[in-house]
Amino acid sequence: MIVIVGCIVVLGAVLAGFTWAGGRMGALIHPSEFVIIGGAALGALVVMSPKKVLLDLVRGVFQSVKGSPYNRQGYEDLFKCLYDLLRLARREGIVSLESHISSPEESAIFRKYPRIAKNHHVTEFICGALTPVLEGTAKPEQLPGLLEAEIKVIEEEHHAPLGVLTKTADALPGFGIVAAVLGIVITMGAIDGPVEEIGEKVAAALVGTFLGILMSYGFFAPLAVRMEFLGAAELAYFRTIAVVIQGFVNDLPPKVALEQARRGVGSEVRPTRKRLDELFAEAESA
């Protein structure tokens, strides 16, 4: 929603300034310029992007509009879910987690927290982090390296759609110039026509440059930055999971491991110490 509001503000400010200066809205409406710039930008995006990157880009744009799921409520659900899992392992042994890890979609613990259960990236990461511990295939000192390697892959996959979106934003002013040059070519072909017709064609050509710059710096570049912040929020969420599980593997009690992780969470989404105790009580009573 914030993204939509921001786009409306940018467009509204530009159009308001244009009309305030005496411009006519009709002078900016030239579908051919939109076709040239939009088609060229879309084509370049398809050419430079593998299929997975395109799909990740589309998902990232939709997520930017919806907002980050890694908010305060998302962290509270995460802490309660991990507390339930680690408390069970502490009480009944690590083997008791086998059914929850092998089939998280059927796990009574994961189903208690729909925000976690519906995010398959999060559930896969939690289960993938606990599996070596359950199977005994990794020593406690080896686990941080395994988790960091996985987080690094996630980070690289975040940067790929950001890179192509940023390159597209950088190219848009150039595509605007292409549209403007084509408009001038059309104008030169009608140079012996009425002055009003020539003026309209020159205006259409200049609109191409205007659109390219506005789309680049007003929409595409800010959207890329927005996606970058969302990616950083997701990585912070996964690193919180890693800290909790590493602490538990190093024989920290579940509450201590979660408190350790809480201290590394950003202030905007970090629950207070009092709230963390309330989350423990809610998990225990559920």
Q: Which two tokens stand for residue 128?
A: 């993938």
In the predicted structure, residue 27 carries a pLDDT above the cut 80? no
Q: Which pLDDT value is given to residue 1? A: 66
pLDDT tens digits along 47-62: 998 999 999 999 988 8
Nearest in space to 113 (alpha carbons), one of 74, 67, 63: 74
pLDDT, tens digit, 9 for 90 and up, residues 106-163: 888 999 999 998 998 899 999 999 888 888 777 878 888 989 999 999 999 889 999 9
Amino acid of residue 31: P
Instruction: Tell me what pLDDT residue 18 has.
Output: 66
Q: Calculate the dihedral angle through the C-alpha atoms of 205, 208, 210, 215, rounding to the nearest 10 degrees.
A: 180
More confident residue, 6 or 143: 143
Computed over every residue of the chain, the mean pLDDT equals 87
Distances (CA, A) of 169 to 28, 158, 216, 283: 21, 17, 5, 46
